Amino acid sequence: MSPVRKYFSTKRASQVMQTPVITLCVNDDVDAALEVLHQHKISGAPVVSSEGTCVGVFSQKDAARTTQSSERNAVVACMTSPAITVSEHHSLLDVSAIMYSSHIHRVPVVDNLGRVVGIISTMDIVNEIIPAMAAEECQSKP
């Protein structure tokens, strides 16, 4: 097993995830949700139910796909659902594979009750890959 693969197999989602997480509620207005994304300079966010569990993910692309104003009233009408999530205990290798195979750019990290405790983006993965590859390259030089 390569050192990078070993690193990604042992690194956990809880060690890479970003906190705190900007979340949206299912009943949030789409335009207000887009404003939240804009204010925080993010392209998407997990959507939580009134019980606090992750039920979907809303992104700028989701809003753009829903063109009719009658369908754009609430985030729940536009969001991608069900949410693809990972646990805090998933390895970074598993997280990367899930994101790749699902064609997603962010994945909420949830606890055992389904509540969002963090989020991992493709940039978080890249920020782990580059130093790990650089370290591996340094180790292979005589």
- Reported as a pLDDT band with limits 50, 70 and 90, residue 5 is confident
DSSP string, 34-84: HHHHHHHT-SEEEEE-TTSBEEEEEEHHHHHH--SGGG-SBHHHHSBSSPP
Could you tell me which residue, 63 or 12, shows the higher pLDDT? 12
| pTM of the entire predicted model | 0.87
- 133 has pLDDT over 80: no
- Reported as a pLDDT band with limits 50, 70 and 90, residue 139 is low
Label the pairing between strands 24-25 and 44-48: parallel
pLDDT in tens, 29-77: 999 999 999 999 999 999 999 999 999 999 999 888 876 555 558 899 8
Residue 70's CATH number: 3.10.580.10
Going by C-alpha positions, the residue among 54, 93, 94 that lies closest to residue 76 is: 54
- Reported as a pLDDT band with limits 50, 70 and 90, residue 129 is confident
The range of the structural domain enclosing residue 73 comes to 3-140
Number of domains in the chain: 1
pLDDT in tens, 80-111: 999 999 999 999 999 999 999 999 999 999 99
